Structure 1
Amino acid sequence: MSGRLFDAPVLHGDVSSAARALLSVPQIDRERLCIRMIAEAELADAHVLRTGRLHPIYGNGSLMAVARNRSLPDEPDFDDVRYCQCFETVLRHLVRFQISQRHS
């Protein structure tokens, strides 16, 4: 890893796609799904760096790619409290992941 979260920057579209994926599952499953998507993106990112090829399941190593492997509802506005909670969940886990990577 390059010292960043992933080799490529994490952009708004990555967070938005992940939040939409979370929105499509029951609230009780969202934390676990978020952690899983970040792990899948990390796995794919490492695969791309190692082989120069897309991961056969998880794609290019972006959070957007792994989120889009799932059913995504249309993106709601930020006046949708559930979507805001999902967006916050993704951001919180990205921060935790980044902090844990610095301490590894």
Structure 2
Amino acid sequence: MRPVLHTDLRDAARALMAVPARLRADQCRRMLKEATWADKYARRTGRPHPLWGNGTLSDAARKRVLAAEPTLDDSGYCDCLALVLLGLRDRLGQVRDGF
């Protein structure tokens, strides 16, 4: 996956807000995997992946329905942002451990 920027966090959280709460953790893991796979594809072929984009988390998120962007005082949005950050932290731990 390409380096994660604020835009990636925002778009991923908006994608999570657009699905029921019970599906969000799986959706988050899926977006992180798709961004990783798309980055590998783009590096190998020189083109964005046709389904998952250019390897950014933002592109993986934007392949989905995005909720309107709320302000940071929206607790649901904060929950989704936290879920994305926790997913990134877990993913970094797996990469560091060789998975």
Pick the TM interval, shorter chain: over 0.9
Q: Give the Cα separation in 1 of the matches to 2:96 and 2:42.
A: 21
Percent identity (aligned)? 46
- What TM-score do the two structures reach when normalised by structure 1? 0.91
Alignment of 1:79-98 (within 5 A): 79-98=73-92
Shift of 1:9: 1.6
The 5 Å alignment of 1:4-43 reads 6=1, 8-43=2-37
User: Aligned partners of 2:24, 2:76: CA distance in 1, in Å?
Assistant: 11
Structure 1 gap ranges (5+): 1-5
TM-score (norm. length: structure 2) = 0.96
**Partner of 1:3 in structure 2?**
none
Runs of 4 or more above 6 Å deviation: none
5+ residue gaps, structure 2: none
- Computed over aligned residues only, the root mean square deviation of the Cα atoms, in angstroms, reads 0.7
